[in-house]
């Protein structure tokens, strides 16, 4: 299963939750696409979030917001607006959020301003016009608690995120900042691997059948983070152990693991012997290998490749062969060096040969 925009949006709130105790829980695919439980003073507030990707090939409009879903058998009360409003059935205060990859038309622009902000107060006429238009489209729309479009407009923020890649890049920066704040120092490849594990954890919550398994709570998340960081930062006392575990988990044959040990050992010896003779070339080639492996893993996790472990291992080796042929610096170092570098990165928990697991 590949990760979608919803998983990365949920990840952004999990990262915020690590830093902000005001976010108690993040639910994925529970009452809404994403549901947040906020601790505000002595009480709780619920935020219901709907996430929409690139399925729309035009700007978001009031008409699209109120359009019934023709893909469902039930044709009434299936618009995005009605589904969002219908979440107001709880006794706690609530708010709503719509997250879209596509931008909105001017008629919805007032919703993109933060709740309670001066800017939002200055567009009160636009908000009032929006309430009128919603009433014209769906005059009978009511939540189970009896609230209507005016309530929804007063409690809704529309967030434009543009693309999955943009959300992912923003999350990685925020995650790096949070890891440093918590005192977790990891290499760039390790941070990215840890982020992928976080998104996998969130994706698993979305597909879980039991309601409790859909909820990610702050204290257990911080405990999971600490354990995951420790596993990445301290891969074990025996050199090559983590690499062998990852290759065996990917169902690679024993002779491939033995060859990887040999490549890794030769790489380490050569690095110790002549790393300082051409430090810039070494650094560039190793950085390129990290980048290429990172791209391959991301595409594997996203479902672009249907590879099993041996097939993905071969794909990685083929990519290094291409690098060796295309780059004079890489060609000078040789394919054996590139292979050994990949296996060394794998042993440091910066690479793997199967889809990410939490």
What does the pLDDT read at residue 358?
A: 77
Q: Kindly state whether residues 116 and 157 are assigned to the same domain.
A: yes
- CATH at residue 116: 3.40.1350
The residue from 227, 251, 282 where one domain ends is 227
DSSP assignment of 157-197: EEEE---HHHHHHHHHHHHHHHHHHTT----HHHHHHHHHH
Q: What is the pLDDT of residues 94-105, one digit of tens each?
A: 999 999 999 999
Q: Kindly state whether residues 221 and 246 are assigned to the same domain.
A: no
- Give the Cβ contact number of residue 141 at 10 Å: 19
What percentage of the chain has pLDDT greater than the value 90? 72
The residues that bridge with 117 in the sheet, in sequence order, are none
Note down the domain range covering 197. Answer: 5-227
Q: Kindly state whether residues 188 and 272 are assigned to the same domain.
A: no
Q: Kindly state whether residues 220 and 248 are assigned to the same domain.
A: no
Residue 282 lies in a domain: yes
Residue 355 lies in a domain: no
Q: What is the pLDDT of residues 17-69, one digit of tens each?
A: 999 999 999 999 888 999 999 998 889 999 999 999 866 678 999 999 999 88
Secondary structure of 292-343 in the HEC alphabet?
A: HHHHHHHHHHCCCCCCCHHHHHHHHHHHHHHHHHHCHHHHHHCHHHHHHHHH
Please report which confidence band the pLDDT of residue 72 belongs to, taking 50, 70 and 90 as the band edges: low
Q: Kindly state whether residues 65 and 181 are assigned to the same domain.
A: yes
Residue 76 lies in a domain: yes
The residue from 193, 227, 261 where one domain ends is 227
Between 37 and 191, where is the model more confident? Answer: 37
Q: Kindly state whether residues 98 and 132 are assigned to the same domain.
A: yes
Instruction: Tell me how far apart the alpha carbons of residues 11 and 202 are, in angstroms, rounded to a whole number.
Output: 7
Between 236 and 89, where is the model more confident? Answer: 89
Residue 356 lies in a domain: no
Q: Kindly state whether residues 218 and 256 are assigned to the same domain.
A: no
Residue 234 lies in a domain: no
Least confident of 12-16, 234-238, 249-253: 234-238
Least confident of 114-118, 192-196, 230-234, 266-270: 230-234
Q: Kindly state whether residues 84 and 171 are assigned to the same domain.
A: yes
Mean per-residue pLDDT, 207-230:
93
pTM: 0.72
What does the pLDDT read at residue 162?
A: 87
Q: Are 53 and 103 in contact (CB under 8 A)?
A: no
Q: Kindly state whether residues 216 and 268 are assigned to the same domain.
A: no
Q: Kindly state whether residues 23 and 85 are assigned to the same domain.
A: yes
Q: Kindly state whether residues 300 and 326 are assigned to the same domain.
A: yes
Number of domains making up the chain: 2
Q: What is the pLDDT of residues 275-307, one digit of tens each?
A: 545 666 788 899 999 999 999 999 999 899 999
Residue 60 lies in a domain: yes
Least confident of 62-71, 149-158, 208-217: 62-71
What does the pLDDT read at residue 1?
A: 42
Q: How many residues does the chain have?
A: 358
What does the pLDDT read at residue 246?
A: 94
Mean pLDDT of the residues in the chain: 90
Residue 272 lies in a domain: yes
In the sheet that holds 156-160, the strands lie side by side as: 156-160, 94-100, 43-52, 34-40, 23-28, 215-217
């Amino acid at each position: 299963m590949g990760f979608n925009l919803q998983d990365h949006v949920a990840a952004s709130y999990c990262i915020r939750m690590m830093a902000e105790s005001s976010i108690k829980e993040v639910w994925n695919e529970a009452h809404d696409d994403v549901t947040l439980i906020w601790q505000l003073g002595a009480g709780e507030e619920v935020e219901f979030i709907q996430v929409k990707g690139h399925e729309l090939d035009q700007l978001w409009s009031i008409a699209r917001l109120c359009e019934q879903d023709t893909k469902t058998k039930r044709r009434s009360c299936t618009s995005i607006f009605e589904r969002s409003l219908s979440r107001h059935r709880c006794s706690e205060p609530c708010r709503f959020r719509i997250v879209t990859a596509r931008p909105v038309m001017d008629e919805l622009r007032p919703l993109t301003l933060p709740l309670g902000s001066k800017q939002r107060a200055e567009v009160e006429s636009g908000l009032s016009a929006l309430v009128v238009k919603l009433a014209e489209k769906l005059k009978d729309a009511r939540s189970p608690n009896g609230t209507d479009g005016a309530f929804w407009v007063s409690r809704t923020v529309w967030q434009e995120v543009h693309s999955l890649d943009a959300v992912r890049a923003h999350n990685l920066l925020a995650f790096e900042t949070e890891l440093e704040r918590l005192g977790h120092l990891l290499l760039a490849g390790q941070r990215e691997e840890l982020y992928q594990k976080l998104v996998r954890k969130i994706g698993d919550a979305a597909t879980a059948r039991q309601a409790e398994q859909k909820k990610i709570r702050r204290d257990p998340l911080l405990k999971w983070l600490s354990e995951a960081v420790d596993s990445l930062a301290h891969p074990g006392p025996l050199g090559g152990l983590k690499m062998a575990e990852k290759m065996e988990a990917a169902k690679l044959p024993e002779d491939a693991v033995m060859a990887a040990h040999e490549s890794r050992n030769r790489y380490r010896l050569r690095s110790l012997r002549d790393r300082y003779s051409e430090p810039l070339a070494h650094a560039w080639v190793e950085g390129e290998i990290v980048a290429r492996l990172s791209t391959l893993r991301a595409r594997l996790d996203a479902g672009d490749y249907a590879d099993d472990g041996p097939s993905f291992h071969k794909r990685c080796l083929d990519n290094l062969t291409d690098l060796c042929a295309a780059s004079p610096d890489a060609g000078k170092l040789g394919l054996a060096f590139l292979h050994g570098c990949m296996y060394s990165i794998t042993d440091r928990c910066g690479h793997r040969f199967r889809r990410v697991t939490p």
